[in-house]
Chains A and B, each alone.
Chain A
Amino acid sequence: MLRKLLLLLIPALLCTTLLAEAVYQQPDDFLGETFSANVPEPAVIWLSGERKQFVRQLLGHRYSTLRVRYWRQKQRSAWVLEEVGKDLPITIGLVINNGLLEQIKVLVFRESRGWEIRHPFFTDQFQSARLDEDNTLDRDIDGISGATLSVRAMKNMATLALFLDAELRKQDVASSP
C-alpha cells in the first residue's frame, strides 16, 4: 500500500517541481526583441556608495550582486533584473526609454504562486511610469490578491531599473563637454 502511494506521490511531486520554473522568454530573446536583433554590447553599473544605500532602502536588503549588466542604445536601456518574491528569484526584463518605463516583462517565474503578475492587465499599469523627485514610482500600482510579494518584487524592480537608468543619464551629463 505504502509503495503504491509513493509511486503515485513521487511523479506528482516531480511534476510540481518541474512546473515550478516557468520560462516565458529567454533573456537573450528579450534583448533581441527589444533591439530588433541588433543588441548593443553589454556594460555594467556598480551598486556601490549611494546606489548601494538606495537599493538597500528600496528592497530592504542588498541586491544579489554588486554590479548589474545593462544594454544601451542612445536613450534606450534594457535591464534583466532578479528579485525574490517569496522564496525564489523572479527574472524580469525592463526597457527604459528616455527616463520612462517602456516595457516590463516577467521572463522567468520560479515561485509556486503569484504568476499572475506576468499578464498585461497588470504590467500595462507600468506603461510610461517614471520616478518622482523622491525616487518613487509616479503612480499607484493596483495589487493582485494572492500575489502581494510578486507584485512588490515587480514594483521594486521597475523602480530600480528607472533609478539605474537615471544614474546612467547623470553620468552622461557629467561626462559631456
Chain B
Amino acid sequence: MSRHHRRKQRLKLSSFYVWHRYMGVSAAVFVLIVAVTGLFLNHTEDFQLDSNHIKSDWLLDWYGIRAPDSMQTFPAGDRHLTLMGEHLYLDRKEIEGNYRQLVGAVHSNDTFIVAISHNILLLTPRAEIIEQLQEKDGVPASLKQIGIDANGAVIVRTGHGYYQPDTDFIHWKRRNEDSIRVRWATPSLLEPRLKNALQRHYRGEVLPVERVVLDLHSGRFFGRLGPWLFDAAAVLLVLLSLSGSWIWLKRRR
C-alpha cells in the first residue's frame, strides 16, 4: 500500500471518528434518560412510584389535568362537606373512598352526618369514618334531603316520606309529615381560598409518578414527536455501536 493511500485511509478513519463522537454526544442525553428512568421502573414498588402522585403545577398543566369546576358544598356546623368529582372532603381533609350524589350534610352531637351515594356516612370532626350505613342497615331508600328538626334530631326526606334514626343510627322510624319543622341542609358556595386548596389537592391525587417516569422512558412525555425522537436515538445507538466496533477493528490493523 502506497504512502498516499495510507494517508487517505487515516483521514477517512479520522473523519469517521469525528462522526462517531458527534453521534455519541447526541445520543448521550437519551441514554441518560432511558437508563435512569429504566432503573426507577425496575424498582417501582421500592420507590413507591405507583402510590406517590405528582403535585407540581407545571407538570399537571403539561398533562392537561384540571380539577372539576363544579362542586357541591354543604355547610355543616362551622365546617364544609364538599364533593368534587368522586372525592369527598370535610373542609380540606379527604374522606376515604369514592362517592357520588351528595344530598346534604348536618352536624349533630359532634358527628357529621352526610347523605351521599344512597348511604348515610357518619364522620368524626377529624374526618374519620364512624360507619357507612346502607339500605341493608335500615337506611330508607331514595334520600332527597337531610336536616335537623326542632328537637335537634336528624331527619331525612325520602321519595316516600320522612324518617328519623335512633341515637345509634340502628333503627329508622317513619315520621308524621304534619308535625315537622326542619332546618334542611342547603348547598352553599365555597369560599375561593378553600376552593383553590381543594382543586390543588384533587389535581395532586390524579397523576402517579410512575406514569411520568414511563412516559419519559418511552419519549411520550415530549408529545407526539417524542416517541419518534426516541426511535431516532435508538437508531443512533445502533449506528454508534457499529461505528465504534468498526473504528476499533480498523485501529487494530
Binding site for B on A (CB under 8 A): 27-28, 41-44, 62, 64-67, 69
Q: Are A66 and B131 in contact (CB under 8 A)?
A: yes
Q: Are B170 and A66 in contact (CB under 8 A)?
A: no
B residues within 8 A CB of A43? Answer: 170
B residues within 8 A CB of A44? Answer: 131, 168, 170
Q: Give bound CA distance, A177 to B67, whole Å.
A: 60
With an 8 A cutoff between CB atoms, is B132 at the interface? yes
What are 13 contact pairs spanning A and B, CB under 8 A?
A42-B137, A43-B170, A44-B168, A44-B170, A65-B130, A65-B131, A65-B132, A66-B124, A66-B128, A66-B129, A66-B131, A67-B130, A69-B131
Chain A nearest CB, measured from B128 CB (Å): 6
With an 8 A cutoff between CB atoms, is B136 at the interface? yes
Chain B nearest CB, measured from A19 CB (Å): 20
With an 8 A cutoff between CB atoms, is B96 at the interface? yes
Q: Are B170 and A65 in contact (CB under 8 A)?
A: no
Chain B nearest CB, measured from A49 CB (Å): 14
Nearest to A44 among chain B residues (CB) is B168
Known: A64-B129, A65-B130. A27 touches B168 (CB 8 A): no
Q: Give bound CA distance, A42 to B96, whole Å.
A: 25
B residues within 8 A CB of A42? Answer: 137, 170
Q: Are B137 and A69 in contact (CB under 8 A)?
A: yes
Q: Are B131 and A27 in contact (CB under 8 A)?
A: no
Known: A43-B170, A44-B168. A66 touches B130 (CB 8 A): yes
B147-185: CB near A (< 8 Å → 1, else 0) gives 000000000000000000000101000000000000000
Nearest to B96 among chain A residues (CB) is A64
Q: Give bound CA distance, A69 to B134, whole Å.
A: 12
Q: Are B136 and A27 in contact (CB under 8 A)?
A: yes
Q: Give bound CA distance, A14 to B132, whole Å.
A: 28
Q: Give bound CA distance, A65 to B136, whole Å.
A: 17
Please name the 9 residue pairs, one residue from A and one from B, whose CB atoms are nearest each other, closest first. Answer: A66-B130, A65-B131, A65-B129, A67-B131, A66-B128, A67-B130, A42-B170, A28-B136, A44-B168
Q: Give bound CA distance, A67 to B121, whole Å.
A: 12
Chain B nearest CB, measured from A140 CB (Å): 28
Nearest to B128 among chain A residues (CB) is A66
**Interface set, chain B 101-141, CB cutoff 8 A to A:** 124, 128-132, 136-137
Most buried by B among A44, A62, A65, A69: A65
Q: Give bound CA distance, A65 to B131, whole Å.
A: 5
B residues within 8 A CB of A65? Answer: 129-132
A residues within 8 A CB of B132? Answer: 65
Chain A nearest CB, measured from B95 CB (Å): 11
Q: Are A41 and B131 in contact (CB under 8 A)?
A: no
Q: Give bound CA distance, A41 to B168, whole Å.
A: 13
B residues within 8 A CB of A66? Answer: 124, 128-131
Chain A nearest CB, measured from B137 CB (Å): 7
Q: Give bound CA distance, A62 to B128, whole Å.
A: 10
Chain B nearest CB, measured from A51 CB (Å): 14
Nearest to B170 among chain A residues (CB) is A42
A residues within 8 A CB of B168? Answer: 44
Given contacts A65-B129, A66-B124, A69-B131, 18 further A-B contacts (CB under 8 A): A27-B136, A42-B170, A43-B170, A44-B131, A44-B168, A44-B170, A62-B128, A64-B96, A64-B129, A65-B130, A65-B131, A65-B132, A66-B128, A66-B129, A66-B130, A66-B131, A67-B130, A69-B137
Chain A nearest CB, measured from B136 CB (Å): 6
Nearest to A63 among chain B residues (CB) is B129
B residues within 8 A CB of A27? Answer: 136
Nearest to B124 among chain A residues (CB) is A66
Q: Give bound CA distance, A27 to B136, whole Å.
A: 9
Q: Give bound CA distance, A67 to B130, whole Å.
A: 6
Q: Give bound CA distance, A66 to B128, whole Å.
A: 7
